[in-house]
Structure 1
Amino acid sequence: MKKIFATLLTCAMMLSLAACGGGGTGSGGSGSQSSASQGGDAPAFKMIVGSTVQDDSASGVALLEYFKPYVEEQSGGRIQVEVQNNSVLGGDRELYEALQLNTVQCSFGPMSTLANFEPNYAVCDLPFLFSGKEDAYTQLDGEFGAKLAENLPNIGMRLLAYGENAFRNISNSVRPINTLEDIKGMKIRVMESPVNIATYTALGCNPTPMAFSELYTGLQQGAVEGQDNGVVLTYTAKLYEVQKYYTYTGHIYAANGMVLSEAFWQSLPEDLQQVVDAGAKYAMENQRRLNTEMEEKLAKTMADAGVQFNTLSEDETNRFREAAKSVWEQDGIKSLMDPEIYDMAVAIRDK
């Protein structure tokens, strides 16, 4: 009898302790507030950041060494940031879809891919929209960039800050490009994008859509003669090994950005919204700086390896601009974006 009573007493004590302990802490993995936010040491929010960039790229460093520590420190540990680069969580399109579901809270990706969700971003692929990096920064960080991002909350996303990939320039294995005539008939690999194909057609090239994964072999075997990536990607993908000439044409500015899940944003109190917003801007400011520094360093590395660099003259740049203007007027391209945004873009181009 005493043994039975002791067993019952032990069970009662265990049930009592379980009731006092509650149901444990929430995971926060979907961006929801953790029960630990009521006073424990655990973070109140977990923020997963996904991207396709490499850890040691300018963008990877910006996320890991600028955004993550800034948000964690300035939030007083209330937000835990987990950065997953290297396409661990999927491609750019999959990451934007994950933002809509709030299974990923933030992503860093290209505006050209975001155009699949918000068509107004197709304007970023139009040729010679910006005159240079400083012009791009001013426009994207100002009224124009804000207007582009205006509808994103309605589709489950929010633009925090713009970063960059690069200005697209042309490398090739045939000849230096000093004039518009030098590019005529050249087989240039392009992304499978109507705007990109139309741009190179307008310039008199033979645009050849090809997956990036096939590009090195395509250049090596002569299926295509040139390509149009920025300095950093031309180096990291080793394309310079099969390309002798690199011309700074600056015909398309490839913008990237930090995009947040709108559901996660709305779950944050106002003070933490301000921390995340400021952290994104801080990270992208440094991403642009690091990217520019890397471009300068790697251009020298490629030049030392035998790549010949040159820049179009102002007169020839204007000829390229005029040749590409027809792309802007194509109905199938012009109709992709809101007329107000299109008019703003034209004003930026022609200023």
Structure 2
Amino acid sequence: MKKFLISTMVISSVIFTAACGSGDSNGEADGGDSEDSVTLRLAHTGSDTHQYHIAAEKFKELAEEKTDGSVTIDIHGNANLGSEDEAVEQILDGTLDMTTVAADSSFANTVPEMNVFGIPYIFEDRDHVYSVLDGEIGESLMETVEENNMKGLGFWEVGFRHITNNEKEINTPQDVQGLSIRVQPSKVWEAHMNALGASPTPVDFNELYSALDQGVVDGQENPLPTIDSMKFYEVQDYVTLTSHTYSPAITVASNAAWEKLSEDQQAALEEAVQETTDYQREELAEKEEEIVETLEENGVTINEEPDREAFREATADVRDVLSEEVPASLLEEIEAAK
């Protein structure tokens, strides 16, 4: 009888140990076939009202709902985990699970084809943008992301970009000459500002407000929701709605994080990303007019109708600097999608 009790205890112990070892509450599931609880850290550099955060919050809600709580999204905004460049590096080495960054910024240094979004006036309007992002061209670009050792999940919105400065009202490219303009750290943006006669100055996004405030740069260029959410209107007197480029936010996961998930969890997250895309686009479209009013209430001079054709002509050759990074066929496909 004593020997029987000992044997029963040993067997029970083995079963308990096996059960506990079958998964990990921190997401160390094996082979992506388990429904173990997983927490994914999603980092971005925007404020709590930035486009990144609007999307991240909705994605968190949808992802947790669609996975019945088996996936938790832990959002880190305000560049708390580093700059966009650092976020991309962390995705590549697996120390960060997810991020959303401007596709045509430092991300393009890893995936050169994303430089296409820095080419001036390649998009006519939002309908043109969405036909590209939501169609075969967007799918092809996501495949390129995966060839560079990341899981591409989707494109969220940053928006059409406009020039701001603290010196004078801008109507033509000649008005930009001599101004120091903050640019994203990629050569297409340097070429863009050089074409306008400005002095391109790379500054990390999380340091941009202070750079404007301290006069390190005279101006910058970003979409209206960014200008509003980052309160750039506090340190900039003039906004010119040039709509010179459109920036999508590329949303990616590290391969290490993606492989932690079961197939059902992966499918749920992909669905959540797409639904977030639709939600964020509608949300931002509704805010644009309100933002213009906010800027005007804060004493900002807004030029809603600059000479865009003159800007288009002045920057027509910028695409030439990207001949090695952006295939001519990609440009042709985008332009044909108008």
Tell me the distance in 1 between the aligned counterparts of 2:92 and 2:214.
Answer: 41
Tell me the distance in 2 between the aligned counterparts of 1:21 and 1:98.
Answer: 36
Pick from 17, 29, 32 the counterpart of residue 29 of structure 2. Answer: 32
Tell me the distance in 1 between the aligned counterparts of 2:214 and 2:90.
Answer: 38
Tell me the distance in 2 between the aligned counterparts of 1:221 and 1:149.
Answer: 39
2:323 equivalent to 1:334: yes
Structure 1 174/129 Cα, relative in aligned 2: closer, same or farther at 3 Å?
same
| Alignment partner, residue 167 of structure 2 | 174
| Alignment partner, residue 40 of structure 1 | none
2:266 equivalent to 1:277: no
Structure 1 185/159 Cα, relative in aligned 2: closer, same or farther at 3 Å?
same
Letter in 1 for 2:29: S
Letter in 2 for 1:306: G
Deviation at 1:113, TM superposition (A): 2.8
Contact 2:67 2:265 in 1 (8 A): yes
> SS of the residue aligned with 2:242?
strand
Pairs within 5 Å for 1:4-19:
15-19=10-14
Tell me the distance in 2 between the aligned counterparts of 1:98 and 1:233.
Answer: 24
| Identical-residue share of aligned pairs (%) | 30
Pick from 44, 68, 76 the counterpart of residue 85 of structure 1. Answer: 76
Letter in 2 for 1:338: P
2:124 equivalent to 1:127: no
Contact 1:50 1:106 in 2 (8 A): yes
Tell me the distance in 2 between the aligned counterparts of 1:27 and 1:251.
Answer: 48
Letter in 1 for 2:202: P
Pairs within 5 Å for 1:226-241:
226-241=219-234
Letter in 2 for 1:329: D
| Alignment partner, residue 54 of structure 2 | 61
Structure 1 223/71 Cα, relative in aligned 2: closer, same or farther at 3 Å?
closer
Deviations 1:165-219 (A, max 9, x none): 2322111223222233322333323233321111111123233334445544544
Deviation at 1:146, TM superposition (A): 1.5
Tell me the distance in 1 between the aligned counterparts of 2:6 and 2:292.
Answer: 72
Which sections of structure 2, spanning at least 5 residues, go unmatched? none
Tell me the distance in 2 between the aligned counterparts of 1:212 and 1:309.
Answer: 23
Deviations 1:13-34 (A, max 9, x none): 7544422312415225456259
Contact 2:42 2:75 in 1 (8 A): yes
Equivalent pairs, count: 333
2:101 equivalent to 1:109: yes
Tell me the distance in 1 between the aligned counterparts of 2:30 and 2:166.
Answer: 55
Structure 1 165/155 Cα, relative in aligned 2: closer, same or farther at 3 Å?
same
Structure 1 20/213 Cα, relative in aligned 2: closer, same or farther at 3 Å?
closer
Deviation at 1:325, TM superposition (A): 1.0
Deviation at 1:104, TM superposition (A): 3.9
Tell me the distance in 2 between the aligned counterparts of 1:88 and 1:221.
Answer: 22
Deviations 1:16-63 (A, max 9, x none): 4422312415225456259995xxxxx525151412234443432332
Structure 1 129/83 Cα, relative in aligned 2: closer, same or farther at 3 Å?
farther
TM-score, normalised on structure 2? 0.84
Contact 1:179 1:312 in 2 (8 A): no
Letter in 1 for 2:74: V
2:291 equivalent to 1:318: no
Tell me the distance in 2 between the aligned counterparts of 1:209 and 1:91.
Answer: 13
Tell me the distance in 2 between the aligned counterparts of 1:346 and 1:326.
Answer: 16
TM-score, normalised on structure 1? 0.81
Letter in 1 for 2:99: S
Contact 2:56 2:75 in 1 (8 A): no
Letter in 2 for 1:335: E
